[in-house]
Structure 1
Amino acid sequence: MTTLSGLLDGTPLWVIGIGLVLSMAIAAAIGWFVRRRLVAASGEREKSDQEGYIVSGALGLLALLLGFTFSLAIERYEGRRALVLEEANDIGTAYLRAQILPSPHRERVSNILVVYTDNRIALAQVHGSGSERDGLVRQNDRLLTDLWAETVAVMPSIRDAEFSGAYIESVNAVIDMDTARKVARGLHVPSEVFLLLLVYQIVSAGVLGFVLYGRHGIALATMLCLLFTLSLLLIIDVDRPTSGGVRESQTPMLLLKDSLASQPPKVFNRTVEGVASPELTDPAAF
């Protein structure tokens, strides 16, 4: 099953599509050949109602399996999409709470979070696996280590402050969200489900080849096989968190990046030695 999962995740979709179409064509040809032999042996050429029931049942169950598998893939996709928004909120909260820290820790933590946000966006947009992704993952882990090291360094100066607990909580949320997104990217539809679906789709093609004979029957069988193949390819694509074409939007993280760029630490310096800054007294600033 591990081998099948690796093939589904690493093989180009067009290769999977061609392989599946060829397999279904062979199965349909076998079904057509068996039909001819039976007709030649019995001389019976009329369709029976039983054949219609068998085709309806086989295609109905195939559609049910496709719908069930698509639901599993979409559920995982929606989970990854929700985590993007949650992570953007956690990083934004940690950034704002970091502005209460004394200098130079405030600037250091703020800079780490800005670089970390850029890294998370790049990591989500890189396609497939390889040296580029591995480098971004190493940078990601190093930034989290730096974030926690800076938090440890600032603790002696804020240990008795009321906001220290809230700040620690926000940093923990950022670190926990990293683990949550890594786990979410590794979740796939079980390989057993895809194996059953592939076998059932090929067998259904054989049933179509047995029942739908003649020019119109072949055209109808071909259309159905192509539709089912396209549906399965879409499911496989959605189930590829790091290499598929259907990937979760990074809009919340991009909005966060713009927000952090427009709010450097100096923006929050509203008072200097108890005197309000000009922005607070200038109506044109609002």
Structure 2
Amino acid sequence: MLTISTIAAIATALVIGLAANHYRCRQALEGGDETSVRDPLKTLAVLLVAFVMVMAAQSYDTASQAASSEAHRVDQLYEVADYAPEPQRERLQAAAVCYARAILAYEWPQMDKSHRMDSEASVWSSDFRRHFKELAHKNANTFEILVDVDDQRSAARQTRLHEASPAIPPTLFWFMTIALAATIGAFAFGLPCRRRPSHVILLCVLAALFTGSLLIVEDIDRPFSGYIRITSEAMADTTGDISSDFAQDHPGRPLPCDIRGARTGQTDSPER
């Protein structure tokens, strides 16, 4: 809906500007000179586009880094847990596999609608902390490393969820849209009365570039649901790797979750 409104705003400004130019030229005996209003409008439009695109790009980059970091920390947590004694080793590694599966199956598909932690995944992060407490008096060095890795995982998850929300306020986006539409209208209005086809072509190209800029900003401001979306490939790779590792490290031992990461036994309190 927002995409259609953006295109409609620019197209409407172009049509109105050309219509006003036609009316002006009919009233004038001489050819139309360039209007001075275009230069400040053009400057404002360019500055707004640059500012908003930087905001959107930074948010997109932060979201991408958070998604990759979370997957890496889950893999690292599984590897560090290998230094823990049993039974905490198996329990932590099983929880890591189930957490990754739950993120993929439950939390990731909801990123475009809900930006909250999914309870199916959060029960496994609660398991991490429970097993850390059991490990604290057995292997202090491994305990400290695991806690640090889990803190980084939790921070990356929170950042990923936070950056899923649009970084650009709707008011700012529509102000930019109106400014670009006004710029197009002013350029159309200021076309020479004895214009050549190249004038109209260049005006249409400018309108297309402005429209494309708005659509790109709108798309990357939704980093997990737009056309240029961040995929779950990093977490999917981690899930495959640690699932295979668990089967090799603990042959014949079942995971406490199904293929989607849902607990097959009792559920702990979710992560807060």
Please indicate, yes or no, whether the TM-score normalized by the shorter chain is above 0.5. yes
Q: Is 1:45 aligned to residue 30 of structure 2?
A: yes
1:128 aligns with 2:112: yes
Does 82-91 or 196-205 show the bigger shift? 82-91
Deviation (angstroms), 1:103: 2.3
1:135-146 equivalent positions in 2, closer than 5 A: 137-146=118-127
CA RMSD of aligned residues (A): 3.0
Q: Which has the higher helix share?
A: 1
Q: 1:65 to 1:161 in 2, by over 3 A?
A: closer
* 1:56 Cα deviation after fit: 5.2
Q: CA deviation at 1:207?
A: 0.7
Deviations along 1:187-220, whole A, 9 cap, x unmatched?
5123343122111012112212312366724444
CA contact (8 A) 1:109 1:150 kept: yes
Structure number with larger C-alpha Rg: 1
2:17 is aligned with 1:31: yes
Which whole-Å CA distance do the structure 1 matches of 2:103 and 2:6 have between them? 36
Q: Residue by residue, what CA displacement relative to the aligned partner does 1:155-195 show, whole Å, maximum 9, x if unpaired?
A: 34x2x643322222223332233222222223512334312
Query: Partner of 2:187 in structure 1?
Result: 208
Change (3 A) 1:90 1:197: same
Distance (Å, rounded) in 2 between the aligned partners of 1:243 and 1:226: 23
Moved more, 200-209 or 25-34: 25-34
Show the counterpart of 2:141.
162
Q: Is 1:89 the counterpart of 2:89 in the alignment?
A: no
Determine the structure 2 residue equivalent to 1:279.
Answer: none
In structure 2, do the counterparts of structure 1 residues 21 and 63 end up closer, same or farther at CA, with 3 Å as the change threshold?
same
**Which residue in 1 is equivalent to 2:224?**
242
Instruction: Report the TM-score, using the length of structure 2 for normalisation.
Output: 0.76
Change (3 A) 1:45 1:127: farther
Give the whole-Å Cα distance in 2 for the aligned partners of 1:198 and 1:240. 17
- Cα offset for 1:266? 5.3
Which consecutive unaligned segments of at least 5 residues does structure 2 have? Answer: 252-272
Deviations 1:54-89 (A, max 9, x none): 545533542332222212111111111112232223
Q: With structure 1 as the length reference, what TM-score do the two structures score? A: 0.73
Q: Cα distance, 1:118 vs. partner? A: 2.1
Equivalent-residue separation in structure 1 for 2:101 and 2:77 (angstroms): 15
CA deviations 1:79-101 (Å, max 9, x no partner) are 11112232223212211221222
